[in-house]
A and B are shown apart, each in its own frame.
Chain A
């Protein structure tokens, strides 16, 4: 009875064509890789899917949800989902794809984007501007896949290995958000709060509330707009690739580079991931992976011509002096999959990694850069003893298809390390082997005193973060006393 009324009210807000409770429409919101693919989560459908067209629509949806105590879930672009959008107890799923406004403030160097705009569309928008109007500015593009939305309330760190060194993680490049809170009120943060002025500054006024929704998996409300700062479109850019056989040596070289504060992005990765990004077919990816040396140190350099000349010469010298072999130009062609990222544009190619074997999985940790080799050693230990992983599809291939990735941010003041696997997720045995690896590695980050990039359903996090979790929970209870917003996703107790 309640849901019928809810449906009718939603239809009154957005129009009948944008509300559906038909199974064919609700099924796609009930499943993603984590349900059937990884068999790690049950499939649960929302009762109703609704597509708001504007911020007032979203506000009204939230008001109805509160009135009828119906849970509200969110979905972004519908790509690389890992359970964050799957309802726990039915309710309404809000799909933001209709909200596609983009507003550029060329003078004050910001762009405000509604949350239904794909990351890749924003890339295209700025490429278009660059070409047609020679505007030398663009937002910092995070590493989110191109099909992601500009939706701050889902996991949105923005890992971009080609830009993080200089500009940090994605959320450091946001000026403000517009959020619809669980009670339906709309809230503009930071400079956006200054409705009679210009929205340009990301601190204040007073306590800065802008960053609260990030990582909160939609628990605090629905982000309807993001205002991004604009960054220089450089005169030129270049990529540097170097081979290493030993991860520790690569890391030592990386530290030397970090201390010089050059480049835009700097990372070390297993070479097979680079091959996978660039290969056209699965076979080519596997062949390249086996033919590559173990690790690639990659660096993106950009700026004026003088800057690029100086920085690339210095980087090349440091790499050579520290055990790296610079990849010749013809081999750089192999890594063309990164060309757009090297130029500083948009979108991560992580979906393309799936060509290699089918799926990737990572165990992520935040460490100081010199701690990473130890982390890698422990992870490798946990992985290499799982035969079913190591010897599929051929003996020893597991060692090729797994390994550490090291991303650097903010001139190396913090880094992110991952241990990444490729595996055939359609093969149950291989799947189980990966879970075994993850299980063996699982406690490594915690042992080293770091924390994983949480999916929200990790039972460790509340216990280990103590008052942090409690404070976040208090905030959640204050903002959402009826617990309608994405219940059971981020705060599982």
Chain B
């Protein structure tokens, strides 16, 4: 087709022919990500290396009316980058420069292709570290992961402000900086809360529908001198909210999450065999608390502050777990260079998580509702792993059921999909908050939040009049 030829040739002119992928076999990696989203290959994939190349691609897309699907590493596992119509995947992995590593402000300026593995290595060299996500492997894009507001291990301590400023290529092809990045002379553009209207958060949880992130200033933190993890077995999560508020009130913790035996086993096991052993030896739930300090004295007082709370609730904090005596080093390694979803998948072959948020008062009811939804299922249920991350000092929780199944078994796959949707719907309609309305949830999420959705639509139409940028996402048709 002439049009497709034109597009292909234009792309080659922009990025060089070696950076345009046309072979259907090679395009497969952009078509699916282990989620239940309908796989679809793009027409082509293109791999720009500079902002100017991205701009040229975007302008071309507008001229030709062809959709673009931004892709950094495909590690959201919710189908955000999977094409919804004929279009071009813009693979940003070549844009992997670390522009600046500022050891005074402890910030770095990175491109979208920079991965956690890459950045961690560089940061460690100067005594710093990057904040890693809990479900995403180290091959994941830092910028994209942060833009998606994926929960990070260190959110309980540092909250959700790891991204300072952004440079975006807007859907019409202009480059726009947010905050200080809007100012051309700014060598160290860190302040995001400035200038008219704070626009930068517009691009978060947006799944690339409002533009392509091509640069970000992000925060790093210290590689701690002293560090420890405390593991506390838990039978039930009935008082988890109360415990979390009390614990987080002490402000002594770094990492803090709660996992059930299956999730934790998958996270930390050496291999699939060990998962089987661990999930039986681990307690039903484990509270995982990380702490660190400038020195042993600091770590020591923090441990005492944390232990006070554990004691108050009759819980025992330990340095290891049954069958997992080296839990300390395993968890430290996992946090440093995460395997995330890759580890979770080892159990059955596939793992799908539901990114729901619950308030403290919703925690137990949502847990019960999830189990109820599962129990209504006629077929053998997928196994259920849980990751709960208390945030906002225990007022908010990342409430993440994970469903494990064998993707090669058609029946299991179908059933898992059904359960995934049932549980999601149940939670949405029970008032659960889904800040990341990925394709399988978008309709239902925005059904409950119609007024907000209209504003999202308005912003989308304003920024992307030709609807080229990841069309069809966010329930925007």
Q: Please report A residues at the B interface, Cβ cutoff 8 Å.
A: 107-110, 136-137, 157, 168-169, 171-172, 175, 185-191, 193-198, 200-217, 219-220, 229-232, 234, 255, 259-262, 303-304, 306-307, 309-310, 314, 366-371, 410-414, 416, 446-451, 453-454, 456, 461, 464-472, 474-475, 478-479, 490-491
Contacts and interface: CB of A to CB of B under 8 A. Distances in A.
Interface string B384-396: 0000000111111
A366 B459 contact: no
A207 B459 contact: yes
Given A187-B452, A201-B433, A471 B222 contact: no
A314 B462 CA distance: 52
A108 B136 CA distance: 28
Contacts of A232: 248-251, 393
Given A203-B149, A203-B204, A214 B197 contact: yes
A449 B194 contact: no
Given A107-B360, A108-B360, A194-B431, A171 B395 contact: no
B195 A209 contact: no
Given A201-B396, A451-B194, A208 B106 contact: no
B59 to A, nearest CB: 14
A204 B197 contact: no
Contact of A191 (B201, B210, B433): B433
B440 to A, nearest CB: 14
B194 A201 contact: no
Contacts of B410: none
A469 B298 CA distance: 46
B197 A472 contact: yes
B403 interface: no
A109 B393 contact: yes
B362 A469 contact: no
Contacts of A209: 201-202, 452, 455-456, 459
Given A370-B104, A412-B106, A208 B197 contact: no
B197 A212 contact: yes
B361 interface: yes
B104 A472 contact: no
A461 B175 contact: no
A485 to B, nearest CB: 13
Interface string B453-464: 001101110110
Interface stretch (B3-11, B181-189, B270-278, B281-289): B181-189
B188 A461 contact: no
A359 B442 CA distance: 53
A480 B104 CA distance: 42
Given A211-B198, A304-B301, A461-B195, 11 more contacts: A194-B433, A203-B204, A211-B201, A213-B197, A229-B392, A304-B252, A306-B305, A451-B183, A467-B176, A471-B199, A475-B199
B195 A200 contact: no
Contacts of A229: 392-393, 395
B207 A206 contact: yes
B472 interface: no
Given A188-B451, A206-B456, A465-B182, A212 B202 contact: yes
A454 B196 contact: yes
Interface stretch (B68-76, B159-167, B255-263, B338-346): B159-167
A196 to B, nearest CB: 5
Interface in B442-477: 442, 445-446, 448-449, 451-452, 455-456, 458-460, 462-463, 474
Contacts of A231: 393
A456 B184 contact: no
